[in-house]
Amino acid sequence: MNSKLEAIGIAKRYGDTVALEPTDLAVQAGEFLTLLGPSGSGKTTLLQMISGLVAPSEGRIEIDGRDVTHVEPGKRGIGMVFQSYALFPHMSVWDNVAYGLRMRRRTRDDVRAAVDEALAMVRMAEFAKRFPKELSGGQQQRIALARCFAYRPSVILLDEPLGALDKKLREHMQSEIRRLHKELGATFVYVTHDQDEALTLSDRICLMNQARIEQVGTPSDLYDRPATRFAAGFIGHSNLLEGSLDAARGKSGEPILLAAGGRIPLPMNSASAIVPAARHTLLVRPEAPRLVEPSNGFVDGTISDVVFFGSDTRVQLSMTDGSQLTVRCERSLSPRIGDKVGLVWDPHRTTLLHA
Ligand SMILES: Nc1ncnc2c1ncn2[C@@H]1O[C@H](COP(=O)(O)OP(=O)(O)OP(=O)(O)O)[C@@H](O)[C@H]1O
Ligand SMILES: [Mg+2]
């Protein structure tokens, strides 16, 4: 079971502090949407207004078209999982998972079936009799997930649920959460400030910055077509080349950016972002350029650092105008510090950012 979720003009102020500017966001039924953004950008505030734990200053929340803004949290059909697992220490794992069902006055048989199923789902059935302090952090977080899933909410809100776990366990739990989302079919809204986590988990990412939404889109939308400098900088490694437009166009009529000491052809579809006489910023991801002989490319540089990353190599370049660029290249090319190289790329793999 899943539900469509909508925030309409929702905003939150605490005195003079704006925790969230008026915001519209629609989450489709069964979708996995991630709220991603730096600390203090309003992620938890938005999530808690959806849950009902925080009352909005203005705007409303709808679930399947029904206005629930003034419905109390327990009656919205929403489940929540937090970073701190908040398990009851004096109750067994089984009783922790059963707690919410008993509160909802389900029959004994219903409770037993739902708890066993939820524990099986998070692969913790054999830990049912243990107490929280006898479990690892990852196991406790799994119980917290089971406790939420057990009563089958149609919307599940997760606020940095893996924040307390080490990197390896976090990656393992990410794939568990993806599997559980598929199995449950519920609508998930997931908060994180970890871009890798957002990119791996989400159907769509809602990128937040300074109490408002910066951009909403699929992971590849945000990676390949960031709308702003902030989006380009927050997701993935980015080279931002700044310069002005050349008065002359290129051979095929493409606009040319004078940046990094060279003449750089812009993608033909960048016309809408071009403002005559203004400075422009071009996003070039490290995987776009190819190393060529000096003066055979758009720009030239000298290799100033080489860092191995297992399967490939990151090369740091000092360009002729003094700017720095990071480029990924195959290990077999064995780049060396001090080498002079040129760079070319497919202009359509770059993005001209709106000023
Ligand atoms: N109860 C409150 N009273 C006053 N200000 C608050 C309150 N709750 C949140 N804020 C402020 O609202 C802003 C947004 O906070 P919020 O907790 O939503 O951020 P966040 O994106 O979840 O950050 P983090 O990644 O650190 O959890 C912050 O500036 C915060 O200080
Ligand atoms: Mg938060």
DSSP line for 109-170: HHHHHHHHHHHHHTT-GGGTTS-GGGS-HHHHHHHHHHHHHTT--SEEEEESTTTTS-HHHH
Question: If we measure between CA atoms, which residue out of 299, 329, 293, 335 comes closest to residue 313?
Answer: 329
Top mutation candidate among 10, 14, 16, 21 for ligand 1, by most atoms within 8 Å of CB:
14
The atom of ligand 1 lying closest to the CA of 20 is: 14
pLDDT recorded at residue 344: 97
- Average pLDDT, integer, range 24-46: 97
The atom of ligand 1 lying closest to the CA of 18 is: 12
Q: Which residue has the tokens 């490290």?
A: 286
Residues with CB under 6 A from ligand 1: 14, 17, 19, 37, 39-45, 193
Q: How confident is the model at residue 172 (pLDDT cuts 50, 70, 90)?
A: confident
Contacts of 249 (CB under 8 A, 6+ apart): 255, 256
| Atom 27 in ligand 1: residue holding the nearest Cα | 39
| Atom 4 in ligand 1: residue holding the nearest Cα | 14
The atom of ligand 1 lying closest to the CA of 37 is: 21
pLDDT recorded at residue 355: 61
pLDDT recorded at residue 93: 96
Range of weakest confidence among 116-120, 161-165, 242-246, 303-307: 161-165
| Atom 3 in ligand 1: residue holding the nearest Cα | 14
Residue 119 has pLDDT above 90, yes or no: yes
- Which ligand has an atom closest to residue 208 CA? 1
| Atom 31 in ligand 1: residue holding the nearest Cα | 40
User: What is the chain's mean pLDDT, rounded?
Assistant: 92
pLDDT recorded at residue 78: 94
Domains (range + CATH), the chain: 5-231 (3.40.50.300), 237-353 (2.40.50.140)
pLDDT recorded at residue 151: 85
Q: What are the tens digits of pLDDT across the range 248-267? A: 888 888 899 999 999 999 98
Q: How many whole angstroms from 40 Cα to the centroid of ligand 2?
A: 7
pLDDT recorded at residue 295: 93
Residue 66 has pLDDT above 90, yes or no: yes
User: 10 to each of 18, 68, 354, how far by Cα in Å?
Assistant: 12, 13, 27
Comparing 231 with 82, which gets the higher pLDDT? 231
Residue 297 has pLDDT above 80, yes or no: yes
| Whole-number Å distance between alpha carbons of 321 and 341 | 14
Q: How confident is the model at residue 155 (pLDDT cuts 50, 70, 90)?
A: very high
- Which ligand has an atom closest to residue 193 CA? 1
- 339 DSSP assignment: -
Residue 335 has pLDDT above 90, yes or no: no
pLDDT recorded at residue 106: 86
Contacts 24+ apart (CB under 8 A), 13-17: 13/57
| Atom 26 in ligand 1: residue holding the nearest Cα | 39
Range of weakest confidence among 35-49, 172-186, 246-260, 264-278: 264-278
Q: How confident is the model at residue 19 (pLDDT cuts 50, 70, 90)?
A: very high
What pTM, to 2 d.p., does this model score?
Answer: 0.88
Comparing 129 with 166, which gets the higher pLDDT? 129
Comparing 14 with 105, which gets the higher pLDDT? 14
pLDDT recorded at residue 169: 81
- Which ligand has an atom closest to residue 16 CA? 1
- Average pLDDT, integer, range 239-251: 90
- Which ligand has an atom closest to residue 38 CA? 1
Q: How many whole angstroms from 19 Cα to the centroid of ligand 1?
A: 6
| Atom 22 in ligand 1: residue holding the nearest Cα | 44
pLDDT recorded at residue 204: 98
| Atom 17 in ligand 1: residue holding the nearest Cα | 44
Q: How confident is the model at residue 122 (pLDDT cuts 50, 70, 90)?
A: confident
pLDDT recorded at residue 123: 87
How large is the C-alpha radius of gyration of the chain? 25
| Whole-number Å distance between alpha carbons of 265 and 5 | 43
Question: If we measure between CA atoms, which residue out of 293, 295, 317 comes closest to residue 305?
Answer: 317
Residue 290 has pLDDT above 80, yes or no: yes
Amino acid identity of residue 69, one-letter, is T
User: Could you give the percent of the chain with pLDDT greater than 70?
Assistant: 99
